Each structure stands twice: as C-alpha cells, then as structure tokens.
Amino acid sequence: MDILVQKFGGTSVATKDLRERVAQKVIETKACGKFPVVVVSAIGRNGDPYATDTLLKLSKSIYPELTSRELDLLMSCGEIISAVLMTNTIKSKGYDAVALTGFQAGIITDSNFGEAQVISVNPTRIINYLKDDKIVVITGFQGATKDGDITTLGRGGSDTSAAILGEALNAEVVEIYTDVDGVMTADPRLVSEANVIQSLCYNEVYQMAKCGAKVIHPKAVEIAERANLTLKVKNTFNDTDGTIINNKRPFSVIKTNESYSKKLVTAVAHMNDIVQVIINISSEDEKNDSLLMELTDKRISIDMINFFDDRKIFTIAEKDLQTIRKILDSYNLEYKITENCSKVTIIGYKMHGVPGVMARLARALSRENIKILQSSDSNTTISCLINSKDLINAVRILHQEFEL
C-alpha cells in the first residue's frame, strides 16, 4: 500500500477557499494511485475563531486557571473542528473520507499533559479505512493516554503527529505543507533574497528548527531520522518542488533563480525573546549544584552555556525571566541580566573542521557595529547572541556574507 502522509498547517486550512485548495491536492494524490492520510492543524492563528490561542483566551476569560488535563481537552478542539471541515470538503468533491482524532487513529501517549510523549501507535484502524478506499483525515497535535484522557504533544505537535504516523504506516513520504516554497536560506520576511533549499540532511534541518526556523518542528525531524523517513516541505498555494529532507545527500543544495549551488553555509536562522544571565558563582560553591537542580525542577531550559571557575553564563527564554530572578535572589547571588537579546545562527553540514568561519562571521558583524554578547558552536552551527535591535541587519549581513 503506497501511503503518503500530508500535513497541512493552520494557515493552509483557515478559509473555505483554502480548504478547497487543500482538498484538490489530496484528491490529486489519490488520483495518482496513492493512499493519502491527511493531518491537519487548528484553523488559522491567534484571533481567528477556532485557533488554539483563541480558545485559550476564551477559557481564561471565564476562569483564569485550568487543570492541565482540562487545558489539553480544550486545546484539542481546534484540530477536531479542522478535521471535520476538511473531511466534509473532500466529500463535497465526490470522494469518501473519514475524520479521526489522534486517539481514534491509535496514538497513545504518556500523561504529561501539554508536552505528551508518544508511547505507541496502532495504525490498524487507519489501514482498514484506507482499504475501504477512504481518505483519512486525522487531527494533529494530539493523542490520548491508555485511560482515554486527551493529551497534546506541545507546540509544533501536528508535525510530530505527521512524522509518527508516517513511521507507523511505513509511508513513502511525509509532506509538510506551509505558506512558503520550502525550507529557506533565511526567514523571507527578513531577507527578501532568501532562496529555497532543494535538499537537506536531517541534522541540518534539525539544527535550523532548534535555532528558530519555524518551517518544521525538531521532534518531527528526530522521528523521521529514526525511521529513515523522507520529509518534503512544500507550499500549499503552488506546485513548486519544495525541500527534500533525508540522508541521501551529504550536503545541502540551494536552488537560486539561475542554478543549483553547493555552499559551505546552508542557512541563517534566528530566535527572539532571549535573556542572557551571568552569575558570579564558583564551580566549588555548594550553591552551584542546588541552583542547577532548581532550574531543572522549574522546567527552565538554558542555552548557550559557558561555565567558568568564577561565573556561569547562559541564556533563557524571556518568559522565564521572573522565575529565574526569584531563584537567584533566594540564593543571594550576584548576577547580571541582559534583556532584549536575539540569537542568530549559521548552519552548514560542511562547516565542520573548516577554519576561519567564525572569524568571517565576526568580521561581517563588526563591520556593521553589531556587538557579539556571547557565542556557541557545534559541528554544524555557530550561534551569536546579539542585541535584538541588531537582529534584522545581522541576518541580512550574514546571508550576504556567506552568499546564500
């Protein structure tokens, strides 16, 4: 059975006309002899009637506190509405279709509401519907515990749903549909010259996703790599080829208007709303271990970590600022907080072992008087922390510097 999983995000199914377009893509897949399994996100974005954030605001306007269980139940509603509307749109075209929740599709998770981990997937019900010649439309972002409590998989969970179903169904490909032509060399909203990347390996796109590129969620990439599953990122609104993600190429290929070119650096990614924390605390101080344990207990994720004998430097998300201030004050520690920071990252599979890349990056930013507050690197990335006011210029400059 030649199964193709197609995931459509909220902007792709936000209006009647858009759902008609999605239905046509699904029907074309069916007409090619494949068996489409469609995964959908909630309709629209914040402010739209059935978007997840809109549902949260509605609930909080009545009573500000929900249990995590009730919160997941509420947040699952947007995808359910989307799946039913998408199913009926396909039926209106003369094709049989059926809507399933994540639980009905066989996705079983743990009980970590809001960030549930998938334990198992039983695809039997999906396969039986496909054998009955039905197009199956499944709610993204959700599953359920063994006891039947609805759970959600965290932000980007519809990508995770598509990948986990692709693995369970032994799908040929998982297509992730969005509102851009594929994975880009930079955010096209910041860099008008950004190009589509024709081909990426898992590690590159995983690093891009972790460093702020919002085209696909890193969890989905992890699953795809584990299952050796090919991903394609495509545009809902046209028929461009998009970006292929697998391990068949040891380097990325960037598609420009004129040709294909191999590059040392593949892309520039960025993240906003970051805070730098510098703490004066020695590695031998007894407060050190307990402080780090408390950050873990409070679920504060730290990044860009530089630990020295006399101080600890790292970054956190802005949303955790008040919490970390309280923690540091409770330990009576001397510290410095720098707000309004952003992280800009260059990513490239071929950078590893090549000298001079960091120097080139630093010179490019220095020419524009952009101060580097902190840096970190891995085999495929170099990240710099900068002031948020410099972010747009920094992304554009690096995109030019590395000829993307």
d(Cα 296, Cα 298) in Å, to the nearest integer?
Answer: 5
d(Cα 304, Cα 316) in Å, to the nearest integer?
Answer: 9
Q: Is 10 annotated as a binding residue?
A: yes
Residue 314 phi/psi, 5-degree rounding, is: -160, 175
Q: Is 52 annotated as a binding residue?
A: yes
Which are the contacts of 31, defined by CB distance < 8 A and separation ≥ 6? none
Q: Is 381 annotated as a binding residue?
A: no
Q: Is 214 annotated as a binding residue?
A: yes
Q: Is 157 annotated as a binding residue?
A: no
For residue 335, the one-letter residue type is: Y
Determine the angle formed by the axes of helices 321-330 and 287-297, rounding to 10 degrees: 150
Q: Is 348 annotated as a binding residue?
A: no
Q: Is 106 annotated as a binding residue?
A: no
Residue 234 phi/psi, 5-degree rounding, is: -135, 165
Q: Is 44 annotated as a binding residue?
A: no
Q: Is 79 annotated as a binding residue?
A: yes
Phi/psi class of residue 44: alpha, beta or left (left: φ > 0; alpha: ψ in -120 to 50)?
Answer: left
Which are the contacts of 355, defined by CB distance < 8 A and separation ≥ 6? none
Structure-block tokens of residue 333: 């520690």
Contact 151, 113 (CB under 8 A): yes
Q: Is 318 annotated as a binding residue?
A: no
Closest by CA to 267, choosing from 341, 310, 205, 192, is 205
The three-state secondary structure class of 197 is strand
Residue with tokens 């085209």: 215
First to last CA, the chain: 40
Residue with tokens 């749903």: 161
Contact 100, 122 (CB under 8 A): no
d(Cα 361, Cα 345) in Å, to the nearest integer?
Answer: 10
Structure-block tokens of residue 5: 């999983």
Q: Is 314 annotated as a binding residue?
A: no
Longest dimension (CA), the chain: 71
d(Cα 95, Cα 88) in Å, to the nearest integer?
Answer: 10
Sign of CA dihedral 304, 329, 388, 11: positive
The number of beta carbons lying within 10 Å of the beta carbon of residue 252 is 25
Annotation: binding site for ATP: 7-10, 178-179, 189, 214-215
Annotation: binding site: 7-10, 52, 79, 178-179, 189, 214-215
Annotation: binding site for substrate: 52, 79
